[in-house]
Structure 1
């Protein structure tokens, strides 16, 4: 029988360590770990499948390239993937992702001004963004209808933040941290 289950990596390390102690006690030839640090090395050898995310620097991003959605749908899709719409922390993070983007498209960000019309808040953490590269004159809330943040290439050159109507269709970028779970197969 094949059984799939997910577990926290710390739990996996603990099982690995306990297994090593049992193997030493029984004199098993299956495995004989000398100490806990070897168990840690083995746990570090387990790689979680990050698909469809790609690693850029220390974070994992998913860039939707085939289907444009409104802001709410994009947020929902990211949450289905166990992630959030992107909330760039600094220029370095944004600049690392830019080569993966099409300059002809817009991409939804995690920020909106639903709670306070004059201040953008990240849906990810409920705080104003620590970094925002707004385009000149943005956010401008054109016709009092623009409440969601997007990333666009002005003059098809440099990407900047822009506010736009949340019902407009854009592609989107999801972000997540290092996966904290991995799948283990027991048979």
Structure 2
């Protein structure tokens, strides 16, 4: 378990909605940026739950192996729930598949959003025993909350409010929403 003090920014004006169409465009953009900036990817590790759909979508475009780790940061999925700063990790989905092998080359660690950076910070050092010397872990997310004090290697949107993703339960009907528009380029660190 890891603790972190950064707090996500929520303006409480509207929920930022990622439509299925914008998601597909964003995945294409991330895949292009990964290819141009990083090169071939050996494996993509999706952080469950939100990073799993992204890992599969990117793997289909980058011809990479998909792996998974489980992480829990939010106490609930209720809109505007502030992160606790405590991250619990379960690497068994990864270690069960890898057994006694290690990953070689470029590894992409993905999640739907970097709210504070706590999940990636907690997970990153725990992956080192599963890498060969010289392997590099890169990070990519769809959204980076403006309250985060961590910058992934690649991301599409800086967000200042709650984000709703296509794989989540529908929002209540009266919820004010703003659809995210896909930019021409990904942001990078």
With the length of structure 1 as denominator, give the TM-score of the two structures.
Answer: 0.28
Report the TM-score when normalising by structure 2: 0.27
